Amino acid sequence: DIQMTQSPSSLSASVGDRVTITCRASLNVNYYLNWYQQKPGKAPKLLIYAASSLQSGVPSRFSGSGSGTDFTLTISSLQPEDFATYYCQQSYSTPLTFGGGTKVEIK
């Protein structure tokens, strides 16, 4: 199985900050990497697919980069509605696996 490791597991940031979350795969997943945002009591929301493609309707302050084993989700200017938990997921091979999550909290 491909293990997905996110860091950090949590972070505190202020509105307007630039936030970067990293995700490392234990094996090469090429570009088959998705990023999700999840708020308490809600279903996950797809933000980025294929490592760097912005899902329709997602604000352009979200961006993704990377390929192979190392990936990054960047929020260029954190907004109040961005405080949530973020997950990466590889869709390269089954079992599909998620990272452990990064909780973005208000500083």
Partner 1 sequence: EVQLVESGGGLVQPGRSLKLSCTASGFAFGDYVMNWVRQAPGKGLEWVGFIKNKAFGGTTQYAASVRGRLTISRDDSKSIAYLQMDSLKTEDTAVYYCSTSAFDYWGQGTLVTVSS
Q: Which residues bind partner 1 (CB under 8 A)?
A: 1, 34, 36, 38, 43-46, 49, 55, 87, 89, 91, 94-101
Q: Which is nearer to partner 1, 17 or 22 (CB)?
A: 22
Q: Which is nearer to partner 1, 5 or 17 (CB)?
A: 5
Q: How many angstroms separate the CA atoms of 87 and 55, rounded?
A: 15
Q: How many angstroms separate the CA atoms of 46 and 56, rounded?
A: 9
Total length of the chain: 107
Question: How does DSSP classify residue 60?
Answer: T
Residue carrying structure tokens 């998705």: 34
Q: Which is nearer to partner 1, 13 or 96 (CB)?
A: 96
Q: How far is the CB of 14 from partner 1 (least distance, A)?
A: 25
